[in-house]
Structure 1
Amino acid sequence: MPFISKIQRQTDYHLFPPSTPIVIDNGASYFRIGWAGESEPRVIFRNIVQRPRHKSTGETVTIVGDQDTSLLRYFDCTRSGPRSAFDSNVVFQFEIMEYILDFAFDRLGASGSRIDHPILITECVCNPVYSRSKMAELLFETYGVPGVAFGVDAAFSYKYNQQRGICGKDGLAICPGFNTTHVIPFVDGEPVYKGSCRTNIGGYHVTDNLKQLLSLKYPHHMARFTWEKVEDLKMEHCYIAADYALEARLFQKGGKEAEEKTRCWQLPWVPPPTEEPPSEEELARKAAIRERQGQRLREMAEAKRSSRINELENQLHGLEFLLQQINQVQEEEIPAFLSETGYVSKQEIEATLNKVSQSLRKAKGEPKAEQAENEKADSSAAEKYPLINVPDNMLTPEQVKEKKRQIFLKTTTEGRQRAKQKRVEEELEREKKNQQDEQKRLENPQLYLEQMHTKYKELYEKVEQRKRLKTNGGHTNGNSGGVGRGERLNPAHRERMRLLTTAAFDRGKGEDTFGAKDEDWQLYKLMSKDNDDDDDGPDEDEAELAHVCSRLQEIDPAFVPKPEVTTTQATTSEVPRARPLTKEDFQILFGVERFRCPEILFHPNLVGVDQAGLDEMTGVSIRRLGYKDGALEDRLTSSVFMTGGCSLFPGINERLEAGIRMLRPCGSPIKVVRAFDPVLDAWRGASAYAANYQFQQQTFTRADFYEKGEDWLRRYQLRYTL
Structure 2
Amino acid sequence: MHTLGMRPQRQSDYRRFSPAMPIVIDNGGHNLRMGWAGESDPRVTFRNLVYRPRHKATGETVTIVGDHDPALLKYFDCTRTSYRSPFENNVVYQFEFMEYVLDYGFERLGTEDSHVDHPVLMTECICNPISSRGKMAELLFETYGVPSLAFGADAAFSYNFNLLQGICKEDGLAICSGFSTSHVFPFLKGEPVLEACCRTNVGGYHVTDYLKQLLSLNYPYHNSSITWEKAEVLKLEHCYVADDYASELQLFQKGEKEAEEKKRYWQLPWVPPSQEEVPSEEELARKAALKEKQGQRLRDMAATKKFIRISDLESQLHGLEDLLQQLDEMDETDMFSILSNTNYNSRHEVESAVHRLTQSLRKAKGEPSESEEKADASLSEKYPLINIADNLLTPEQLKEKKKQIFLKTTSEGRLRAKQKRFEEELLREKQNQQDEEKRLENPELYLEQTRTKYRELSERVEQRKRLKTNGSHTNGNNNSSGGVGRGERLNAAQKERMRLLTTAAYDRGKGEDTFGARDEDWQLYKLMSRDNDDDDDSCEEDEAELARVTTRLQEIDPSFVPKFDVGSTQGTFELPRLRPLSVEDFRISLGVERFRCPEILFQPNMIGIDQAGLDEMVGVSLRRLAMDDETKEKMCTSILLLGGSCLFPGLESRLEAGIRKIRPYLSPLKVVRALDPVLDAWRGAATYASSPHFSTQTFSIQDYYEKGESGLKQYQIKYTL
> Structure 2-normalised TM-score?
0.67
Whole-angstrom distance in 1 between the partners of 2:699 and 2:487:
90
Distance 1:283 1:574 in 2: 28
Check whether the contact 2:179–2:205 (CA below 8 A) recurs between aligned residues.
Answer: yes
- Residue type at the aligned position of 1:695: F
1:483 CA displacement: 2.4
Distance apart, 1:485 and its partner CA: 3.7
CA contact (8 A) 1:639 1:671 kept: yes
Instruction: Measure how far apart 1:475 and its partner are.
Output: 1.9
User: Which one-letter code corresponds to 1:637 in the other structure?
Assistant: C
Distance 2:294 2:27 in 1: 82
Does the aligned pair in 2 maintain the 1:22–1:118 contact within 8 Å? yes
2:592 aligns to what?
592
Other structure's SS at 1:73 match? helix
* Alignment partner, residue 701 of structure 1: 700
For residues 115-154 of structure 1, the aligned pairs below 5 Å read 115-154=116-155
Assess, with a 3 A threshold, how the Cα gap between structure 1 residues 506 and 224 changes in structure 2: closer, same or farther.
Answer: same
- Report whether the alignment pairs 1:109 with 2:118: no
Following TM superposition, by how much is the alpha carbon of 1:531 offset from its aligned partner in structure 2, in angstroms?
14
What are the equivalent positions in structure 2 for 1:539-554 lying under 5 Å apart?
A: none
Distance (whole Å) between structure 2 residues aligned to residue 272 and residue 131 of structure 1: 58
Amino acid at match of 1:260: E
Which residue number corresponds to residue 253 of structure 2? Answer: 252
| Structure 2 segments unaligned to the other structure (5+ residues) | 303-462, 537-567
CA distance in 2: counterparts of 1:285 and 1:469, whole angstroms: 46
Q: Aligned residue for 1:691?
A: 690
In structure 1, what residue type is equivalent to 2:111?
A: A
What secondary structure sits across from 1:224 in the alignment? coil
Count of residues in Structure 1 that have an aligned counterpart in Structure 2: 529
1:643 aligns with 642
The residue type equivalent to 2:92 in the other structure is V
Contact 1:486 1:494 in 2 (8 A): no
State the match for 2:49 in structure 1: 48
Q: Could you tell me which amino acid in structure 2 is paired with residue 235 of structure 1?
A: L
Q: CA contact under 8 A between 1:175 and 1:643: conserved in structure 2? A: yes
**Aligned residue number for residue 168 of structure 2:** 167
Query: What does the per-residue CA deviation read over 1:258-317, in whole Å, with 9 as the maximum and x for residues that have no partner?
Result: 010000110100111123467xxx987887787788799999999x9xxxxxxxxxxxxx
The question of 1:483 aligning with 2:457 is answered no
Q: Cα distance, 1:492 vs. partner?
A: 3.1
Residue 31 of structure 2: aligned partner? 30
Contact 2:473 2:488 in 1 (8 A): no
Taking the aligned partners of 2:91 and 2:22, their CA distance within structure 1 comes to 23
On the 8 A contact 1:153/1:683 being kept in 2, the answer is yes
Residues 507, 248 of structure 1: CA spacing in aligned structure 2 closer, same or farther, 3 A cutoff?
same
Deviations 1:404-424 (A, max 9, x none): xxxxxxxxxxxxxxxxxxxxx
- 1:58–1:257: structure 2 CA closer, same or farther, 3 Å change rule? same
8 Å Cα contact 1:468-1:474 kept in structure 2: no
Is the 2:149–2:700 contact (alpha carbons within 8 Å) kept by the matching residues of 1?
yes
Name the CA shift for 1:489/1:124 in 2 (closer, same or farther; >3 Å): same
Give aligned-pair identity as a percent: 57
Structure 2 equivalent of residue 448 of structure 1: none
Cα offset, 1:257, TM superposition: 0.4
1:211 positional shift: 0.7
Change (3 A) 1:159 1:504: same
The 2-side partners of 1:170 and 1:54 are apart by 55
Show the counterpart of 1:660: 659
What secondary structure does 1:693 align onto?
A: coil
Contact 1:122–1:151 (Cα < 8 Å) also in 2: yes
Correspondence for 1:492: 496
Say whether the 8 Å CA contact 2:468–2:489 is kept in structure 1: no
| Residues 484-504 of structure 1, C-alpha deviations (whole Å, 9 max, x = no match) | 448845353345435764897
Matched, 1:624 2:624: yes
In the alignment, is the contact (CA less than 8 A) between 1:476 and 1:482 conserved in 2?
no
Corresponding residue number in structure 2 for 1:190: 191
- CA–CA distance in structure 2, aligned partners of residues 157 and 704 of structure 1: 28
Residue 6 (structure 1) aligns with: 6
Whole-angstrom CA distance in 2 between matches of 1:711 and 1:114: 26
Residue identity in the other structure for 2:496: A
Contact 1:473 1:483 in 2 (8 A): no
| In structure 2, distance between residues paired with 1:133 and 1:301 | 87
Using the alignment, how far apart are the partners of 2:684 and 2:288 within structure 1? 83
In 2, the alpha carbon distance for the partners of 1:301 and 1:93 equals 73
Report the alpha carbon displacement of residue 571 of structure 1 after superposing the two structures with TM.
5.8
- Report the CA distance between 1:214 and its aligned residue: 0.6
Distance 1:192 1:272, change over 3 A: same
Q: Structure 2 CA distance, aligned partners of 1:577 and 1:52?
A: 43
Distance (Å, rounded) in 2 between the aligned partners of 1:177 and 1:638: 23
Amino acid at match of 2:471: T
TM-score normalised by the chain length of structure 1: 0.67
CA distance in 2, matches of 1:613, 1:708: 40
Per the alignment, do residues 289 and 658 of structure 1 end up closer, same or farther by CA in structure 2, a change over 3 Å counting? closer
Aligned: 1:604 with 2:604: yes
Structure 1 equivalent of residue 275 of structure 2: 274
How big is the shift at 1:115?
A: 0.6
User: Secondary structure of the residue that 2:224 maps to in structure 1?
Assistant: helix
**Matched-pair contact (CA < 8 Å) for 2:500–2:524:** no
Distance in structure 2 (CA, Å) of the matches to 1:689 and 1:298: 93
Opposite residue 55 of structure 1, the aligned amino acid is: K
Structure 1, unpaired ranges of 5+: 305-462, 536-567
Q: 1:533–1:607: structure 2 CA closer, same or farther, 3 Å change rule? A: closer
Contact 1:92–1:131, Cα closer than 8 Å, also in 2: yes
User: Structure 1 residues 32 and 297 mapped into 2: Cα distance closer, same or farther (>3 Å)?
Assistant: closer
Summarize the Cα distance change of 1:283–1:524 in structure 2 as closer, same or farther, 3 Å threshold.
Answer: closer
List per-residue Cα deviations over 1:602-660 (Å, max 9, x = no partner).
111111212111111111111111101x3311221111000100110000011111111
CA contact (8 A) 1:472 1:483 kept: no
Distance 2:180 2:692 in 1: 34
Q: Secondary structure at the match of 1:81?
A: coil
Q: Are 2:26 and 2:682, in contact at CA under 8 Å, matched by a contact in 1?
A: yes
**Aligned 1:11-410 pairs, distance under 5 A:** 11-276=12-277
Instruction: Answer yes or no: is the 8 Å Cα contact 1:22–1:120 preserved in 2.
Output: yes
- What's the CA shift string for 1:358-404, capped at 9, x where partnerless? xxxxxxxxxxxxxxxxxxxxxxxxxxxxxxxxxxxxxxxxxxxxxxx
CA distance in structure 2 between the aligned counterparts of 1:229 and 1:300, rounded to whole angstroms: 56
Deviations, residues 438-496 of structure 1 (Å, cap 9, x unaligned): xxxxxxxxxxxxxxxxxxxxxxxxx99x959972863289xx94424488453533454
Aligned-partner SS, 2:693: helix
Residue 68 (structure 1) shift: 0.8
User: Aligned in 2, Cα 1:19/1:5: closer, same or farther, shift over 3 Å?
Assistant: farther
SS at match of 1:223: coil
Query: Structure 2 vs 1, CA of residues 20 and 470 (structure 1 numbering), >3 Å: closer, same or farther?
Result: closer
Question: SS at 2:139's partner residue?
Answer: helix
Q: 1:191 to 1:530 in 2, by over 3 A?
A: closer
Residues 190, 720 of structure 2: 8 Å contact kept: yes
Any idea what the Cα deviations from partners look like across 1:645-695, whole Å, max 9, x if unmatched? 011000001111111111111221111111111111100111111111111
C-alpha contact 1:88 1:200 (8 A) present in aligned 2? yes
Contact residue 148 and residue 701 of structure 2 kept, 8 A: yes
